[in-house]
Structure 1
Amino acid sequence: MIAIIGVIVVFVMVFGGYLAAGGKMGIILKSLPFEMTMIMGAAVGAFLLSNDGATVKHTIKDIARIFKGAKWKADDYRDLLCLLFELIRLAKSDPLAVEAHIEAPQDSTIFGRYPKIQKDRESVELICDTMRSASMNYDDPHQVEEVLEKRMESNLHTALHSSHALQTMADGLPALGIVAAVLGVIKTMAAIDQPPEVLGKMIGGALVGTFLGVFLAYGFVGPFAAKLKAVVEEDAQFYQLIREVLVANLHQHSPAICIEVGRQNAPAHHRPAFDALEEALKGTKAA
């Protein structure tokens, strides 16, 4: 919602200020289709030229995340801590019983209580792979922590491809605007014998290209890239929390301490309150 408000504010402030200063929209609207075709057409072509098919598909899919925001909300962090608490407690009390849940999470009654997490492949694999390795005596906390860190760095690097692709497009848009403006000037010079009022409109139309390139780059595409990067990095903290809790478990801390480590590592605006989390954990114990 806030992204949509931002788009509206950009349009209202830029064009509202222009009209308030006595500007006329006629010349802009007349030139807009042609300039937009040249600038955005070249930008899209350059985008396709500089990225592979997977990145293109990933970027198109990620555009929606700019407006939806981060996938994981405060309730999801609470549910994740409850899920990890149940698994860790069961692993300490009955190591054989927990194997059924980590070997077939799609059929697990524990995972089934948290369907959003159960449907997220990366979360499930991160939890199950780490707990499975612990059951295979691959339980050196430092080794596991290093493996998880490299895995999450790789995932984050891949997830940020869309943001980098959009930022590259934003960096090129002003130059493409200049290209469109130069073509407009060339067109104007070819009609140099026309009266001043005609030449003035042609020059104004040419300058629309420069305006559009800068406007799109710094008003939309650049901010979109920055917002997408922030969303991706915020979602990555969800997986970071999984790592912190499972590594704490390998250090042989009690389930309650492991969950408190995770709670402290949750983003501040999504961190469950201590009392609220205690109530949720009591519910899992009762279940």
Structure 2
Amino acid sequence: MLGLIGIGVIFAMVFGGYLLAGGKLGIILKSLPFEFMMIGGAATGAFLISNDSHGLRQTARDVGKVFKGPKWKPADYRDLLCLLFELIRLARSNPVGLEEHIEAPSNSSIFGRYPKIQSDHEAVDLICDTMRAASMNYDDPHQVEEVLDKRMETNRHHALHSSHALQSMADALPALGIVAAVLGVIKTMGSIDQPPEVLGKMIGGALVGTFLGVFLAYGLVGPFANKVRAVVEEDDHFYQLIREVLVANLHQHPANICIEVGRQNTPNGVRPSFTEIEESLRSLKQEAA
């Protein structure tokens, strides 16, 4: 919603101010289709050259994050802590019983209680791979922490591809706008024998190219790139929470302490309260009794 409001504010302020200042939209509207064809077409072509098919599909999906916002909501962080608590408690009381859950999480009754998390392959793989490694006595907390850091850095770099691609396009748009404007000037110079009022309109049309390139770069594509990056970084906290809890588990802290370590490392905006977690864990214990 905020994304749509922001776009509306941009268009209203830019073109509203132009009209209030006495500007006429006729020249812009007449030149806009051709200028947009040159600038938008060139930017799209450059984008196709710079990215493979996977990158194109990822960017198309990630543009939706500008309007949807982060995937993980406060309730999901609470559910994640409850899920990890159940798995840690089971790993310590019945290691053999844990295997069916980490080897086939899609059929797990524990993961099944949290369908949104269960449907996220990266979160599930991160949990299962780490707990599987611990069950194989690969339980040096420092080594596991290093492996998790490298894995998460790789995933973060991949997730930020769309942001980098959009920012590259934003950086190129002003220059492409100048190219379109120069072509408009060339066209104008070919009609230098025309009266001033005709030349004025032609020059105004040429300048629409410069305007459009800068407007698209700093008013739309650049903010889109920044928003995608912000959403990716915010969602990354969800996977960081998994890392914190599982590393704490390898240090052999009590299950409740492991969960509290994760809760304390959760950002303020999505951090569940201590009471909320205690009530959720108490309900899990009562169900298991």
TM bracket (short chain): over 0.9
- Structure-1 separation of matches of 2:253 and 2:57: 43
SS at match of 1:71: coil
Partner of 2:193: 193
- Structure-1 separation of matches of 2:9 and 2:270: 28
Partner of 1:153: 153
Scaled by the length of structure 2, what TM-score is found?
A: 0.98
Partner of 1:70: 70
1:1-50 deviations in whole A, cap 9, x for unaligned? Answer: 11111000000010011011111101000000000000000000001111
Partner letter of residue 181 of structure 1? A
Does 1:85 pair with 2:114?
A: no
Equivalent pairs counted in the alignment come to 287
Correspondence list, 1:86-235, <5 A? 86-235=86-235
Percent identity between the two aligned chains: 74
- Structure-2 separation of matches of 1:264 and 1:73: 16
SS at match of 2:106: helix
- Structure-2 separation of matches of 1:222 and 1:286: 51
Segments of structure 1 that go 5 or more residues without pairing to the other structure are none
- Structure-1 separation of matches of 2:286 and 2:118: 21
SS at match of 2:270: coil
Partner of 1:21: 21
- Structure-1 separation of matches of 2:95 and 2:50: 50
Correspondence list, 1:225-264, <5 A? 225-264=225-264
- Structure-2 separation of matches of 1:254 and 1:14: 58
1:194-216 deviations in whole A, cap 9, x for unaligned? Answer: 01000000000000000000000
Does 1:54 pair with 2:54?
A: yes
Partner of 2:38: 38
SS at match of 2:204: helix
- Structure-1 separation of matches of 2:268 and 2:207: 46
Stretch of structure 1 that moved more, 244-253 or 275-284: 275-284
Partner letter of residue 8 of structure 1? G
Partner of 2:271: 271
SS at match of 1:192: coil
Partner of 1:282: 282
1:115-150 deviations in whole A, cap 9, x for unaligned? Answer: 000010001000000000000000000000000000
1:147-169 deviations in whole A, cap 9, x for unaligned? Answer: 00000000000110100000000
- Structure-2 separation of matches of 1:227 and 1:132: 36
- Structure-1 separation of matches of 2:205 and 2:273: 58
- Structure-2 separation of matches of 1:23 and 1:43: 28
- Structure-2 separation of matches of 1:172 and 1:154: 27
Partner of 1:4: 4
1:93-123 deviations in whole A, cap 9, x for unaligned? Answer: 1111111111111111110000000010001
SS at match of 1:276: helix
State the Cα RMSD in Å: 0.6
- Structure-2 separation of matches of 1:3 and 1:40: 21
- Structure-2 separation of matches of 1:187 and 1:272: 63
- Structure-2 separation of matches of 1:196 and 1:180: 22
- Structure-1 separation of matches of 2:94 and 2:269: 35
- Structure-2 separation of matches of 1:10 and 1:268: 30
Tell me the CA shift for residue 51 of structure 1.
Answer: 1.4
Scaled by the length of structure 1, what TM-score is found?
A: 0.99
- Structure-2 separation of matches of 1:247 and 1:15: 54
Partner letter of residue 70 of structure 2? A
- Structure-1 separation of matches of 2:238 and 2:156: 12
SS at match of 1:269: helix
- Structure-2 separation of matches of 1:75 and 1:138: 32
SS at match of 2:269: coil
Give the 4+ runs in structure 1 shifted more than 6 A: none
SS at match of 1:194: coil
Stretch of structure 1 that moved more, 69-78 or 96-105: 96-105
Segments of structure 2 that go 5 or more residues without pairing to the other structure are none
